Amino acid sequence: MLRSIHHHNFNAMETAYLLVTGDFVKTGGMDRANFALADYLAKQEKKVTLVGYRVTNELLAYSNVKFHPIPKLANSYLFSGPLLNYMGRFYADRLAIDGTRVIVNGGNCQWGDVNWVHYAHVAYRPKIQAGLWRRWKNLVSDSLFLKAEREALQSAKLIIVNSDRTQRDLIENLAIPREKIHRVYYGIDPQVFYPTTKEERDTLRRQLGWSVNKKIVLFIGALGDRRKGFDIVFAAWQKLSTSVEWDVDLVVIGVGAELTKWEHDASIKRLNSRIHFLGFRTDVPDLLRAADCLVAPTRYEAYGLGVHEALCCGLPALVSITAGVAERYPPELQELLIPDYEDVEDLVRRLQKWEQATEYYRQLVIPLTNQLRKYTWDDMSKNIIEHLN
């Protein structure tokens, strides 16, 4: 049975918003963005109704926030999606009468008001390697997501996207009129993601059990399929580790169906002293500040919040040129953009070049670090709401 968490009797004349998404939490790209928008609206003393699977206590503490929790069946977005869509439409149907603006995410709810697109399913078909059941489930979910996305975006009055890349994907693949789409980049919490001093970095490394002197490269991303390009990073590390001059460790943050496969491969190829799998972590800001570089040869990335966060911590971040976040890189940082994410040899060369001039690259990213940290989650949310008015 569905239950509602109430905090306030609202005046129907107030400006009101209904947000429909999976999770309003601070982990994950679109989850963090949806949390930020809900938090901003709550701070503006707007009436905010949330429909989703999870929400933070931080949002529930606002007297003007009402949350309708949807059960996540079998902990699966595929199985729970129809219920989220149904309940999102149920509340939208009742609240829109009083002028409430309804903001949905991609194809998760069929309601023709505002659609915030964080990932264009039409732009990438994930390739699942692990297990027949997972491959079948992926095939089914992919076709359902594509259909739901197409219908939701074609009916939307206004679409918010997280990059120019996502805007192009929608125009070229779904024939969405350009004038209906507005690009708003993600923000950041500058108090959480900031460049570290050498003293703080050394302290963090000791706490993590890392060597103070060894260079560390991070990979952050789900290991359920090959979208994030970990297979390319792994192959590059194999080649790099054949050289005695390569004294750099790879730290992998993320979980998924292929994690055990990669751990096994690292052991078989005697790379388990060079590649360290940390699984899911809640201390990503600390890990970023303790590291020297981020690598992300992603096959598809509508934006790339992990890269954005790394840059805000002052880390050079190697990322595919096709990722949305690559748009933010100025000409002087083009060497950090990977032109072909399938080219292992090219990634090897770029990592070697970075390793030979780490301080040079660290200094090179400082202007972008400073620029990105000036644009907060509240700035992002304010921009979104301005497009609605």
pLDDT of residue 29: 87
pLDDT of residue 6: 44
Q: H-type helices in the chain, by residue range?
A: 29-43, 57-60, 77-95, 132-155, 164-174, 198-208, 230-240, 259-268, 284-290, 305-312, 344-355, 358-364, 366-373, 377-388
Look at residue 176 and give its three-state secondary structure. Answer: coil
- Joined together, the tokens standing for residue 178 give 């350009």
pLDDT of residue 377: 98
Domains 16-187+376-388 and 198-373 share a fold: yes
pLDDT of residue 79: 86
CA–CA separation, 308 and 380 (whole Å): 14
Q: Cβ neighbours of residue 27 under 8 Å, at least 6 residues apart?
A: 282
pLDDT of residue 28: 80
For domain 16-187+376-388, the question of CATH label 3.40.50.970 is answered with no
- Average pLDDT, 10 consecutive residues per value, the chain (389 residues): 43 76 92 98 97 98 98 86 96 96 97 97 74 57 82 97 98 96 98 96 96 96 93 98 95 95 96 95 96 98 98 98 98 97 98 97 98 98 96
pLDDT of residue 133: 55
pLDDT of residue 139: 57
H or E, element range at 67: strand 65-69
- Give the number of other Cβ atoms within 10 Å of residue 182's Cβ: 16
pLDDT of residue 194: 98
Domain parsing of the chain, residue ranges: 16-187+376-388, 198-373
CATH number of 198-373: 3.40.50.2000
